Structure 1
Amino acid sequence: MREVACPVALHLDGVPRRIAAFEHPQAGLQLVKGGIRSGERPEHAAARELFEESGLETRAAISLGESTKIDAGARWHVSLCRLAGPLRDNWQHHCADDGGHLFRFFWLELDAALPEGFAPPYRRAVDWIRGQL
């Protein structure tokens, strides 16, 4: 089973509850996620992935739990990341992984309907996160 870290980057203002999400140029709307390295704690992996994929800096990360029901063959370790400010409303970040992509980030309102374009695993992840927060 693959071990996956998923950071929940909650916007500092708190209302409405918003988390960082992005548009991948080839794969649609997504949440940040990535593999956990051997010996790496899931919370550290979440903070690392968040920085690598979005440029957002984590001051502290705590586990929200894990789930094997988000994506077949994967255990998602979800961590709440306390962000360093200031934060922009939207931004682009070049991620060197996967041959290099420019990701377009935005804040996804947790209490609103999900926009079209999220694949089923990301929809399940958002539902799981909503249940934990």
Structure 2
Amino acid sequence: MKKAVPVVVRNHGQGLEILAFRHPLAGTQLVKGTIEQDEQYEHAAIRELFEESGLVAKLKPKFMGNLSLQFNQQDWYFYLCDISHVLPETWVYHCQDDGGLAFEFFWYPLNQKPNADWHETFQEALAFIRKYFDLEK
């Protein structure tokens, strides 16, 4: 199964931070979702970002690479998305899919190792993103 992962980052004081959220049933996550049949991957990234966060990304996000997850045999395709306005420190978005759950968005320091609240797949994804930005120690 192929998943699009829209990545939103900001440079904030101590370094790069990535947009993350707390899922009320499944812990801390990054935005991601299934790439529909015949859908362009970059369009899937923009669509998923909007569906899960309400954010509208600029067209033509930058492809960061893909990761084949050992845990669940999924292929994740990462796209660096640009948002044209300044985002708040935290906010809650009521996602229309997933039954209307409230997702709590926040900024997570990329140089910080994830704790146990992050599922194994997202820990692997964070390591991939840290490597992309040359933050692996």
- TM-score scaled by length of structure 2: 0.89
Paired residues of 1:70 and 1:124 also in contact (CA < 8 A): no
1:35-94 deviations in Å (ceiling 9; x for gaps): 001111111111111111011221141110111136422110111101121210000001
Q: How far apart are 1:128 and its partner, in Å?
A: 0.6
**1:103 and 2:88 equivalent?**
no
Amino acid across the alignment from 2:121: P
Question: Once superposed, what is the RMSD of the aligned Cα atoms?
Answer: 1.6
Instruction: Determine helix, strand or coil for the equivalent of 1:5.
Output: strand
Paired residues of 1:8 and 1:19 also in contact (CA < 8 A): yes
Show structure 1 runs of 4+ deviating over 4 A: 12-15
**Aligned equivalents of 2:67, 2:102: Cα separation in 1:** 29
What are the ranges of 5 or more consecutive residues in structure 1 without an aligned counterpart?
none
Paired residues of 1:70 and 1:122 also in contact (CA < 8 A): no
Give the total of aligned pairs.
132
Percent identical pairs in the alignment equals 39
Structure with greater strand share of residues: 1
Instruction: Determine helix, strand or coil for the equivalent of 2:5.
Output: strand
